[in-house]
């Protein structure tokens, strides 16, 4: 019998969900605190972080700082920067993980599947040819081949370089 190990999922299943919003980050914290929250990039109005319970390796989330639940609640500047950071996240994921495509989406409202319905966020799910194998089709299970912190460490230098390049 073969076994599929995904021990990080047990944390999600058993742990009490936080009483605070995971997207309400506040001020920039120490590098270690940012790593613990899986924050990869902060901009003036929005930020990029990794999904702690990813659909696949490199699953990112882009969110405004402001606690809003719909696209209509965003200011034009927030909307622009949000999608600039979606583009940045795709560029970095292509470089860092050799992503060949992306599923990009928002679940607006609880009935649409939003896990955090009252703080808008965009999912960026990298894709590769052949990434949906028999595990997904037969057992409704996704295999995440790399740990979160290993992926975080792969991403971080690319986000830092992109910020340095943008400042020039």
CB within 8 Å of 108: residues ≥ 6 apart? 69, 70, 71, 114, 120
Instruction: Report whether 92 contacts 162 (CB < 8 A).
Output: yes
pTM listed for this prediction:
0.80
- Residue 142's pLDDT band (boundaries 50, 70, 90)? low
> Measured between alpha carbons, how far is 65 from 86 in angstroms, rounded to an integer?
14
Output the pLDDT for position 68.
Answer: 93
pLDDT average, residue stretch 124-150: 73
**Bigger pLDDT: 91 vs 118:** 91
**Bigger pLDDT: 45 vs 118:** 45
Token duo for residue 39: 């924050």
Output the pLDDT for position 54.
Answer: 87
- Residue 90's pLDDT band (boundaries 50, 70, 90)? very high
Cβ neighbours of 104 (radius 10 Å) = 16
pLDDT for residue 13 is more than 70: no
Q: What percent of the chain has pLDDT over 70?
A: 81
As annotated, the active-site residues are: 121
Across 12-21, 111-120, 125-134, 148-157, least confident range: 12-21
Q: Map out the domains of the chain with their CATH numbers.
A: 37-162 (3.30.428.10)
Instruction: Report whether 120 contacts 71 (CB < 8 A).
Output: yes
50, containing H or E segment: strand 46-50
**Bigger pLDDT: 11 vs 128:** 128
> Measured between alpha carbons, how far is 71 from 83 in angstroms, rounded to an integer?
12
- Residue listed under structure tokens 């809003």: 68
**62 phi/psi in degrees, rounded to 5:** -120, 130
132-to-54, 60, 125, 139, 163 alpha-carbon distances in Å: 14, 18, 13, 12, 33
């Amino acid at each position: 019998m073969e076994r599929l190990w995904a021990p990080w999922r047990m944390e999600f299943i058993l742990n009490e969900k936080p009483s605070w919003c995971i997207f309400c980050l506040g001020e920039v914290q120490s590098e270690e605190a940012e790593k613990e929250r899986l924050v990869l990039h902060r901009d003036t109005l929005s930020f990029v972080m990794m999904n702690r319970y990813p659909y696949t390796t490199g699953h990112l989330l882009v969110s405004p700082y402001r606690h809003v639940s719909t696209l209509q609640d965003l200011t034009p500047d927030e909307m622009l920067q949000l999608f600039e950071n979606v583009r940045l996240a795709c560029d970095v994921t292509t470089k860092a993980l050799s992503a060949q495509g992306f599923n990009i989406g928002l679940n607006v409202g609880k009935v649409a599947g939003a896990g955090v319905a009252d703080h808008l966020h965009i999912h960026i799910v990298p894709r590769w040819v052949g990434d949906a194998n028999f595990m997904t089709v037969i057992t409704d299970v996704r295999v995440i081949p790399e740990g979160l912190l290993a992926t975080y460490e792969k991403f971080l230098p690319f986000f830092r370089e992109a910020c340095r390049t943008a400042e020039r």
